[in-house]
Structure 1
């Protein structure tokens, strides 16, 4: 065994879910070249992961969205002569890349049709966490599991940039008061808590003497602006807005400075988990069995609605998230702070 290709083209969380898989693979094959094929825009999540030898990029919605360029990528993979190709997602694009990669052995999840080219197709389990579902692929070929949780490494340049941003935002020595991170975004609108909820939470945290900072990408800035309009203590020196101002690596370094992060089911939630920060996650339409903060107990808040885990991206009522109260979140924050100090 000389070369292994792992295909994971999905989102931030999915790449982090793959890190126990990658550690286990590296432990079993310490001298093998392990290549990871990822979506270019999320590559920072694994850019400094020591368990992979190289990252191969795909621009799914841009350059490689054209069939001729996608075919050229497949040709490039075939010329690398991989001994083992492992596909971690059961969708058409990743299944096609694995199926036509020319790998001597191809295993993992597969869309029907492409599975004809696989040596071993693994059924994706829906009753366990997605990180564990990835590990099931290794178990199926008798590779031992080394599960140290989600992992994301941050370079020194990003760490220093984050430290400067934090100092400028709070003008304090670290630790003079706990800072609670708020991540308001979510890939589906239905995953997001209400603007009123986040605004009231921010005000009450500030009243209690905590610092508050907002995270998220540029796509979340409009929602954060709406929330800030509702925050009565928005002029407080203990509030900072990092939304849309950081790279993923800088976000990870900033999140690590927080005492607790309150978030919906999202990529930044899993980044916080990778940095060993206590997380409180508000779940509604997505399934906490598969996507909860990995290896964090008592991290999830759910309403009592019967429609939970519906998987809907749009919902007129959105009661599952509206019914989560600020007092419930504050109580959970207090419990996390007490437990970790």
Structure 2
């Protein structure tokens, strides 16, 4: 088909999922460099992706409620797109999409649609189960006649962010970053278990740094981890921005984290990830490029909490039960750390 003159992408949140949209943007730009791309994105998430070249961004402030939706409509007044890629199925996003004028409205297949999603789209992506979230998002170009065959991020990182990261992590000492908090509290590991892995890394000659956002819950988690440490790591909790975190990740060799936004940010800059998975399936939502260093207890969690193997669960089922992350033992994470160290030629 001929190149569309304009496309609107709607994916407002969360950090990890917004990261997964970037390769789709790159695919569209490579095929149709003259096509005007407009991306409706969340206020926080724009701080991560808002400097992507060749994209017009419209910020949606979900905290503003209906006023935030009206602001988006005002920003798009007078515009009509050849197609809307409606990549978020939450009710709020479906309502937001009603203010976007587009001839084609491409959404998820019926199995992945919810919250009235089917009423706001008139085309659907191919119905495929068993795919990573990034591949599902990438398939939004298929109704347009494209195929995402390469995955490229190249997220812009300002020079000042790199300079700041270099000050925090000078030299070339092997570095383990630890981002202990997920936005889903039931995905978090115990502080003392993080601390045990961090002590092991320190004993192996690694530099260890703790990272996280400025929220009270992340500060509390960081304090609990620090209290359990014998050797105090560098504490950067609440000191970075999303761009500075990208820069920190680009200087580190490994990130220890539960299923979270920083997991996907690390993957996007090529940093290995020691992901902790029990509540979620790493094959669906783990680090896209390399999941070899993840601890995977998802099947064990399925059997314990849902009474069936993971292979019998609906794709995307979350097992966010109290205590589910306790299935991951310290030795599980240390074994993956040592394997990653050997692979990287460290220690």
The TM-score by the shorter chain falls in which range? 0.7 to 0.9
2:93 maps to which residue? 94
Write the mapping of 1:252-331 to structure 2, written as runs, cut at 5 A: 252-303=246-297, 304-305=300-301, 306=303, 307=305, 311-313=318-320, 315=322, 318=323, 320-331=324-335
Offset at residue 81 of structure 1 (A) = 2.1
Per-residue CA shift, 1:271-319, capped at 9, x if unaligned?
Answer: 110110111101111222210100204132123332378625451xx1x
Partner Cα distance (1:301, 1:203) in 2: 18
Partner Cα distance (2:45, 2:335) in 1: 34
1:170 maps to which residue? none
Offset at residue 241 of structure 1 (A) = 1.0
Provide the secondary structure at the position in 2 that maps to 1:83.
strand
Provide the secondary structure at the position in 1 that maps to 2:178.
strand
| Conserved? CA contact 1:185–1:216, under 8 Å | yes
Offset at residue 163 of structure 1 (A) = 1.5
Offset at residue 96 of structure 1 (A) = 2.5
1:334 maps to which residue? 338
Offset at residue 130 of structure 1 (A) = 0.5
Moved more, 98-107 or 240-249: 98-107
Residue 199 (structure 1) aligned to one of 195, 201, 204:
195
**Does residue 217 of the first structure (1) align with residue 219 of the second (2)?**
no
Structure 1 vs Structure 2 CA RMSD: 2.1
| Conserved? CA contact 1:187–1:266, under 8 Å | yes
1:45 maps to which residue? 48
Partner Cα distance (1:134, 1:280) in 2: 24
Partner Cα distance (1:97, 1:254) in 2: 34
TM-score, normalization by structure 2:
0.86
Change (3 A) 1:233 1:83: same
1:59 maps to which residue? 61
2:118 maps to which residue? 115
Partner Cα distance (2:266, 2:71) in 1: 36
2:228 maps to which residue? 230
| Conserved? CA contact 1:3–1:34, under 8 Å | yes
| Conserved? CA contact 2:26–2:153, under 8 Å | no
| Conserved? CA contact 1:149–1:295, under 8 Å | no
Residue 204 (structure 2) aligned to one of 186, 204, 208:
208
| Conserved? CA contact 2:208–2:234, under 8 Å | yes
Structure 2 gap segments, 5+ residues each: 311-315
Partner Cα distance (2:151, 2:116) in 1: 35
Partner Cα distance (2:77, 2:118) in 1: 18
Provide the secondary structure at the position in 1 that maps to 2:37.
strand
Q: How many residues align?
A: 323
1:77 maps to which residue? 76
Structure 1 gap segments, 5+ residues each: 168-173
**Does residue 158 of the first structure (1) align with residue 156 of the second (2)?**
no
Partner Cα distance (1:72, 1:203) in 2: 49
TM-score, normalization by structure 1:
0.87
Change (3 A) 1:95 1:124: farther
Change (3 A) 1:112 1:281: closer
Moved more, 140-149 or 257-266: 140-149
Partner Cα distance (1:151, 1:189) in 2: 30
Provide the secondary structure at the position in 2 that maps to 1:13.
helix
Provide the secondary structure at the position in 1 that maps to 2:102.
coil
Partner Cα distance (2:127, 2:46) in 1: 24
Residue 182 (structure 1) aligned to one of 175, 178, 188:
178
Per-residue CA shift, 1:188-244, capped at 9, x if unaligned?
Answer: 11111111101111222222221111111122111010111111122xxxx211111
| Conserved? CA contact 2:273–2:291, under 8 Å | no
